[in-house]
Structure 1
Amino acid sequence: MTRFDVVIVGGGIAGASLGAELAAQASVLILEKEEVAGYHATGRSVAFWEETYGGPQVQPLTTASGPMLLSPDPDFSERSFVSPRRTLHVGRVGDEGARDRLLASYVGKVALERVDPQVVVPGLRPEWMLGVLEPEVKDIDVGALHQAWLRLFRRRGGEMRLIAALRSAQRQSNGWRLEASGGPIACGVIVNAAGAWADDVARVCGVAPLGIKPLLRTVLQLRVPAMPSMDLPLVMDLGGGFYFKPEGEGRIWLTPHDEVPSPPCDAAPDELAVAQAIARFQEAVNWPIEAVERKWAGLRSFALDRAPVYGYDPDMPGFFWFAGQGGFGIQTSPAAALLGRALLMKEAAPEIIASLDFAAYSPTRFR
C-alpha cells in the first residue's frame, strides 16, 4: 500500500495550489477523477482579479493575492499572470443603493471612483447613468496559472493520479485508508478540494457535509464587430443582472450572472440563461450582435454564508476542508494556498497573509 502524508481530492486550482505549497514539506498525492485536471470550474472560468468580487469577506484574500499574481516568485513563474483590464460597475435609476453600498464597503481598502459611464464605455445606453470605476482590476491567464501550480507541485515531488475517483475512506488510528483507482492508499490527512463535489467527498469519508451547494453559471462568447475597443473595461451590472468583458477584437464574454442550483455534474449551458444574457446585453449597449460563437457553463460552489471554507473539520480528525470558493477561487489562489498550508501544517502564517482573519473561513462556524 502506498502511503502519503497528505492526499488532496481534486486537481483544480484549489488542489493544485495547496498541493504545490504542501509538497515542499510533505509527501502529497492529488487524486483527480477526470482525464484532465481542472476540467470543471477551473477550466471554464471567465477569470479576472477584482477586489470587490465575492464581497468583503473575500476581498482580503483577493488583495493579498494581487502582488503574487502580478509579480510571482521566479521559482513559480518567470512572467506575470495578469494584464490590465479595469471594471465599470453600472446602474440605472433604482440602483443608487447598490452603488452606495459598494462605495461604502471598501473605503480605505479598494480604489473606487464615481464616473460618467457613458464616457468610459461608448455605446452604453443612456439609462445606464450610474457608474463606479474599479481601476486596478486585471485579467488572469487561468490556464497559465493552473499549469504553473501543477509544475511547481511536481517539481517539489508531488504526485498526481488522473481518472482516480475516491471510492471509499476509513479513518484509522494512524490516519486514513483510501480506496481509489490504482489501489489502496494510506495517508495522514485528507484534503477536500473537490469543488462542487465537496459535500459528496465528505460523505464518502464519513464526515458531515457543510451544505456546500453547486450553482450553475452560463457564459457566452459573442461576435460584436461594432464593439469600440478590446481595451474596454469589464462591465458589471450593479443590480447583478449581467457582466461582460472584451475577449479579443470584436468579441466579448457575457454571462447573465445566473446561479441555478445544480447537482455536481459536467455542466451544460442553460438555454433560458443564454436568451436572458443576450436580452440584457442588448438592453445595456447598442452594439449589434453578429453571432453567438460559443456557450458553456461551469459550477460555482458556495457554503451557506458564501465565504470559503479552509481548515480541519472539528468533528473528524485528519479531514481538512479547502472548498466553497465560489467564483473567486482563481483570483484568491495564492493567498488561499498559503493560508491552507499554515492551517494544515499548524505553522505560523507568512507575513503577506498574517493579517487575515483565519476564523472567518473555518469550518467550525457551521458546526
Structure 2
Amino acid sequence: MEYWLPVAWFGVIGFGVLMYVLLDGFVLGLGILAPFAEDEHQLDHMMNTAAPIWDGNETWLVLGGAGLLAAFPKAYATVLSALYLPVLLMLIALVFRGVAFEFRFKAVRGKPWWGAAFALGSMFAAFAQGLILGAIVEGMPLQEGKYVGGAFGWFSPFSMLTGVAVVFGYALLGSTWLILKTEGRLQQIARTLTRPLVLVVIAFMGLVSAWLPFLDSRIMDRWFEGGNFWWLSPVPLLALLNAWWLWRAVMREGRDAAPFILALCFFGLGFAGLVLGLWPNIVPPSMTIWEAASSPSSQMFVGVGLVILLPAILGYTYWSYSVFRGKVAADSGYH
C-alpha cells in the first residue's frame, strides 16, 4: 500500500496535467494566433470555435494542483517555493485571458483592446508554463529535501528555451484546431500557419533533447543506465514517426481531423518521454515520489473524493466536446 498509493497518485496527477495541456493548450494557441486574424470578425470566428468548452478545461489544472497538494505536500511546498513567480505570472495571465475572452464579446468600441488582451494573456500563460516545465526538468537545488535556491533560481537559458518552445507548441495546437473546426478562408490561414509551426516545434524538441545531457537533473541517466534505452526507445521513435505523419497530414488538403489528432499525439509522446525520464523523482534531481508522499491514510481519504470527482470531470468533458462537435460556421456564436 505504501508503495503503490504514491505511484497511483503520480499517475492521476500526470494524467490531469496532460489533459490540461492538451485541452487548454489549443485555446491558448488561439490567443497566440489572434494577431494573425485578418479582422475582428475573423477573430470572433476563431474564439467561437472554443467558446462553449474553454472554461471547463482549467478543471484539469485544478485537479493536478490539488492532487499534488494532497498526495505530495512536500513536493508541492518545494515547487511553489521555487517557482512562485512563474506560477503567479501564469495565474494572472490565465485570469487576464479569461476576462478578455468574455469581455471582448460584450465590448463595442473597446473590442480591439480586449482582443489584444486575449492574445497577451494567452502568450504569457503559455510562456510561464514553459518556464515552470524547464525549471522542473533542469532540477531544483535541494538540501535535505528543502529548496535552497533564490527567488530567481528558475531563471536559466534552458527554462527560457522551454518557455518559447511551449508558446510555439500551443500555437501548433491552436492552428490544427482551426483546421478541424473551420472552413474557407480561416482554414486556409490555419493551414498556412501550421506548416512552419510543425518545423519550428520539431526543431525546439530537438534543441531541448540535445540540451538534456548537459543538465544536472539526471534525466539522461535514467534513459541510458542499465540498458533502459532499449525499452524506452519506442517513445522517441514514435515521436519522430508522428512528426512525419503530422507533416504529411498538414500538406494534404481535405484531411481536417488528422493534423489536430497527430499534434495531440506529439504532445502526449513528449509528455511520456518526460515522465519516463523523471521517474521515480517528482522533483528532480533527487526527491522521489515516496519521499514526497503524504501518509497512506491521507492519500486514501482524498482518493475517495477522487473516485467520485474524476468520472464526473471525464463525463462532462466528453459530453461538452460531443455536443459541440463539427464545424463552426463564421456567423455562429455561443456567447
Q: TM-score range with shorter-chain normalisation?
A: under 0.3
In proportion to residue count, which structure has more strand? 1
TM-score (norm 1): 0.26
In proportion to residue count, which structure has more helix? 2
TM-score (norm 2): 0.27
| Higher RCO (CA 8 Å, separation ≥ 6 residues) | 2
